[in-house]
Amino acid sequence: MFRSIRNDIKVIFERDPAAQSVLEIFLCYPGFHAVRFHHLAHWLWTHDLRVLARFLSHISRTLTGIEIHPGATIGEGFFIDHGMGVVIGETAEIGNNVTLYHGVTLGGTSWNKGKRHPTLEDNVIVGTGAAILGAIRIGHDSKIGSGSVVNREVPPNSTVVGIPGRVVYREGNVYNDPTGVGGTPDPEGKAIKCLTEQIFALEKRVEELSKRLEETPLPAEARTGT
């Protein structure tokens, strides 16, 4: 338990430049509190003390604004930044070194029992307000852009943006980007930029043709009107 707590504190210092001290983390970080509550609630859940586990989870939500179902499986190095409004469903599975920002939902799309929530592999970052829905897998070292809605599988080393989420492939380790979810590609913006450039090129071409027509002398028949 103490090793896990030390690791969680180390992770916060690595990923949140606003963290000033260990005491501040213990007193003022709801994501840290929610993860600690979840470890206990998950233990109760796996030992068939499910009502008590749900009650402890409910207390955690009331105190932190973060709802993690005690049945969810969470790996090491998990970090929730700010945290308000985060919801993690019962059958969600989260790998190691995953980061969630506030307002993230790992939700289900079915009322049937069984696996119905997403699986996040190692080193995934999920931006503010994103929703990942259904029993889908988000590949390792991927980023989900803020406000995206993802309901399809995401390959490793990818970036997803938009509603519905569209995959923009990306090589390398996501943590090479020191800004986390910053610098996320925008395929719609890129398309608009391409169209704008084509319009400017067409306008320039039309202007050149107009000047050429003005400079071209008229034939003799045209000048005499015959």
* Confidence grade of residue 59 (pLDDT, cut at 50, 70, 90): very high
Pairwise pLDDT comparison (184 vs 4), residue with the higher score: 4
Residue with tokens 């749900």: 54
* Confidence grade of residue 170 (pLDDT, cut at 50, 70, 90): low
CA–CA separation, 47 vs 138, rounded Å? 29
* Confidence grade of residue 179 (pLDDT, cut at 50, 70, 90): very low
Reference 73, options 55, 56, 89; nearest CA is 89
Lowest mean pLDDT: which of 55-59, 155-159, 196-200? 155-159
The per-residue pLDDT of the chain, averaged, comes to 83
Q: Can the peptide bond before residue 156 be classed as cis, meaning omega within 30 degrees of 0?
A: no
What's the rounded mean pLDDT across residues 84-100?
91
- Evaluate if residue 43 carries a pLDDT over 90: yes
* Confidence grade of residue 113 (pLDDT, cut at 50, 70, 90): confident
Q: How many C-beta neighbours within 10 Å does residue 210 have?
A: 10
* Confidence grade of residue 184 (pLDDT, cut at 50, 70, 90): low
